[in-house]
């Protein structure tokens, strides 16, 4: 997955006081680091995602006992070059947990242009109207970038946003997919030429969770770290590959926990003692 915006930026806003101690990671101010893609070692080992997929199906009996949902609508956006087939296992689980889960309507996630954005806006509006309530957005990699920007455009229709290994940095140098993305979208995609997608580091005005892995072989994990802002936000670290984030059982545990919160009653992620082994101690300095 490649970040869309070519420019760099940094948010100077501060987050509101936390209401509970959390094992989720917070971004901290530090000296600027050299922008670089993930380690080639991790890129070459992305095939481990097949093991994560097998683990997902093996764990389905346990995953189906995760906290049940309230039936609200969830829209899942796939990563760069992927389609709804990649998110089918996740959406199947979400439906079993009681959510009204939907894929997106764009085919493969390849070109980011105004047509794509308008189609997403249209689908969000339809789901919002049909469900009678706000829609939760889950975006994998590039899908997470789109989900955040969609929430910025229509915060009144979005309940929360969860991103999986998404490049939240404004510099494409953080991803090993940069050249392919620019080959298909150009160095200045249409959405940027239209004046949008220029502040990817800024979170939308809704509760936002970034789930990331330090062994990501596509997007450097530092690019997925959210900065603290004026609205509830958090970072959750898991053991996973980039291509396995959408099926990793640990990720499903975190997603189910976040979605099960009552609307308007967001608190930071705090896994129970029996699940803490799934989530390594946050250290994002």
125/281: higher pLDDT: 125
pLDDT beyond 90 at 216: yes
Query: What is d(CA 100, CA 39) in angstroms, rounded to the nearest whole number?
Result: 38
Average pLDDT estimate for 45-62: 97
Do β-strands 208-212 and 158-164 pair in parallel, antiparallel, or remain unpaired? parallel
Size of the chain, expressed as the number of residues it contains: 285
pLDDT class of 16 with cuts at 50, 70, 90: very low
pLDDT beyond 60 at 117: yes
CB 35 within 8 A of CB 174: yes
The DSSP symbol for 265 reads: -
In terms of Cα–Cα distance, which of 251, 149, 250, 253 is closest to 208?
149
Question: Which region holds residue 18: left if phi is over 0, alpha if psi is between -120 and 50, else beta?
Answer: beta
pLDDT beyond 80 at 243: yes
**Domain coordinates of the chain in residue numbers?**
40-261
Query: What is d(CA 114, CA 44) in angstroms, rounded to the nearest whole number?
Result: 34
Query: What is d(CA 134, CA 151) in angstroms, rounded to the nearest whole number?
Result: 11
Average pLDDT estimate for 64-85: 96
Query: What is d(CA 123, CA 193) in angstroms, rounded to the nearest whole number?
Result: 24
- The pLDDT of residue 10 is 38
- The pLDDT of residue 169 is 82
Structure tokens, 264 = 């308007």
- The pLDDT of residue 6 is 46
17/128: higher pLDDT: 128
CB 170 within 8 A of CB 5: yes
Measured in whole angstroms, the distance separating CA 190 from the mean position of its chain's CA atoms is 22
CATH fold for domain 40-261: Rossmann fold (3.40.50)
* Adjacent-strand bridge partners of 140: 164
Give the predicted TM-score (pTM) of the model.
0.88
- The pLDDT of residue 230 is 80
pLDDT class of 31 with cuts at 50, 70, 90: very low
- The pLDDT of residue 21 is 39
Helix axes 114-131, 142-153, angle to 10 degrees: 70
Average pLDDT estimate for 14-28: 43
Tens digits of residue pLDDT in 231-241? 999 999 999 99
Query: What is d(CA 138, CA 127) in angstroms, rounded to the nearest whole number?
Result: 14
- The pLDDT of residue 5 is 52
Question: Which region holds residue 138: left if phi is over 0, alpha if psi is between -120 and 50, else beta?
Answer: beta
In the block, tokens 């989720």 appear at 24
The share of the chain scoring above pLDDT 70, in percent, equals 87
Average pLDDT estimate for 263-285: 89
pLDDT beyond 70 at 279: yes
């Amino acid at each position: 997955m490649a970040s869309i915006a070519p420019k760099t930026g940094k948010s100077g806003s501060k987050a509101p006081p936390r209401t509970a101690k959390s094992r989720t990671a917070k971004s901290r101010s530090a000296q600027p680091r050299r922008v670089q893609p993930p380690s080639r070692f991790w890129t070459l080992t992305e095939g481990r995602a097949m093991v994560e997929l097998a683990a997902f199906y093996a764990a389905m009996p346990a995953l189906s006992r995760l906290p049940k949902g309230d039936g609200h609508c969830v829209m899942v956006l796939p990563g760069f070059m992927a389609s709804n087939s990649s998110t089918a296992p996740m959406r199947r689980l979400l439906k079993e947990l009681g959510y009204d889960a939907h894929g997106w309507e764009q085919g493969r996630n390849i070109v980011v242009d105004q047509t794509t954005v308008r189609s997403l806006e249209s689908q969000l509006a339809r789901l919002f109207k049909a469900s009678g309530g706000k829609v939760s957005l889950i975006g994998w990699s590039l899908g997470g970038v789109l989900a955040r920007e969609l929430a910025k455009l229509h915060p009144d229709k979005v309940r929360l946003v969860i991103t999986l290994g998404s490049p939240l940095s404004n510099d494409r140098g953080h991803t090993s997919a940069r050249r392919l993305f620019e080959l298909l979208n150009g160095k200045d995609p249409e959405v940027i030429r239209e004046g949008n997608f220029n502040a990817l580091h800024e979170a939308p005005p809704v509760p936002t969770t970034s789930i990331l892995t330090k062994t990501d072989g596509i997007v450097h994990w530092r690019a997925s770290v959210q900065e603290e802002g004026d609205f509830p936000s958090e970072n959750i670290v898991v053991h996973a590959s980039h291509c396995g984030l959408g099926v990793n059982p640990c990720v499903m545990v975190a997603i189910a926990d976040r979605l099960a919160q009552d609307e308007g009653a967001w608190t930071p992620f705090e896994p129970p003692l029996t699940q803490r082994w799934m989530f390594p101690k946050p250290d994002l300095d």
